[in-house]
Amino acid sequence: MSSSKVWFVTGASRGLGRVWTKAALNRGDRVAATARDPGALDELAKAHPDALLVLPLDVTDRDAVFEAVGRAHRHFGRLDVVLCNAGYGYMGAIEELEHEQVRANFDTNVFGTLSVVQAALPILRAQGNGHILTVSSIGGIIGFPTGGSYTASKFAIEAMSEALAGEVAAFGIKVTIIEPDHFATEFRLSVQSPPAIGAYDPIRQAIRSSFKTGDSGDPAATAAAIFEAVDARDPPLRLVLGSLMIAKLRAVYAARLSNWEKWEPVSNAAQGLRHS
């Protein structure tokens, strides 16, 4: 049995964020749970009055992020797990995307995560320990047509988190990128799309048809995997959630390697140096 942990969670009001918040509370951990609509957490707050601190937060408000992280630290005395879960999808073909909406999507998914991480790091460094979990997606590894700015934002999370892991390891801070496949959550409710251009409808329909409802995982089953990671002495940099995703990743990386190898002579020639 692991010792009790203190969590700071963004986007805790629904979806996987709520699942993980509830599961952490049920196993005896304490949680500072943030949401744009804190009222959505009233039920959990009544069930766990001493272990749950509910804080209103829009992660695009950088000052509010620092205030919330500081308040959580003062309330509980430490932070063990910082879970950057807040985010939403903005989906559309690249030609369709509205510039300001892409900027807003990145403000939440990428810059919101950055603000939370930067607010937490001085606390975790002073402690000499802590675990940062950033939430990516299958869309952070595999870019798909009409994935729009969502996949770009998740690719950015992957790169930022990988850099972060190398920077903070010496301070005793762990970083894990959570990479969920498709789960039966309310994620679709948070998906936005620009006005459609008809020329892309066949591609859009093909992508939608490739996502089979029966392949969606059970959100409740993900909590045990998250706990395995946060309780591990040597947690993974990347943690895939879902039984179908590893096969998809093998195929994608095999295709990438094949592409690089096919063009290797051209790549080598681009070095511009002659070798004996």
Give the residue numbers annotated as catalytic, written as ranges.
136, 150, 154
CA angle 59, 54, 123 (to 5 degrees): 65
Identify the CA nearest to 21 among candidates 256, 262, 227. 227
| Strand pairing class (6-9; 81-84) | parallel
- CA–CA separation, 31 and 83 (whole Å): 10
- CA–CA separation, 41 and 33 (whole Å): 8
Q: Which helix (H) or strand (E) holds 7?
A: strand 6-9
Close Cβ partners of 244 (under 8 Å, ≥ 6 residues apart): 181, 215
Which tokens in the block code for residue 10? 């963004």
- CA–CA separation, 149 and 142 (whole Å): 13
Does residue 100 contact residue 211 with C-beta atoms inside 8 Å? no
Q: How far is CA 255 from CA 252, 259, 268, in A?
A: 5, 6, 19
Does residue 3 contact residue 27 with C-beta atoms inside 8 Å? no
Which tokens in the block code for residue 272? 């511009």
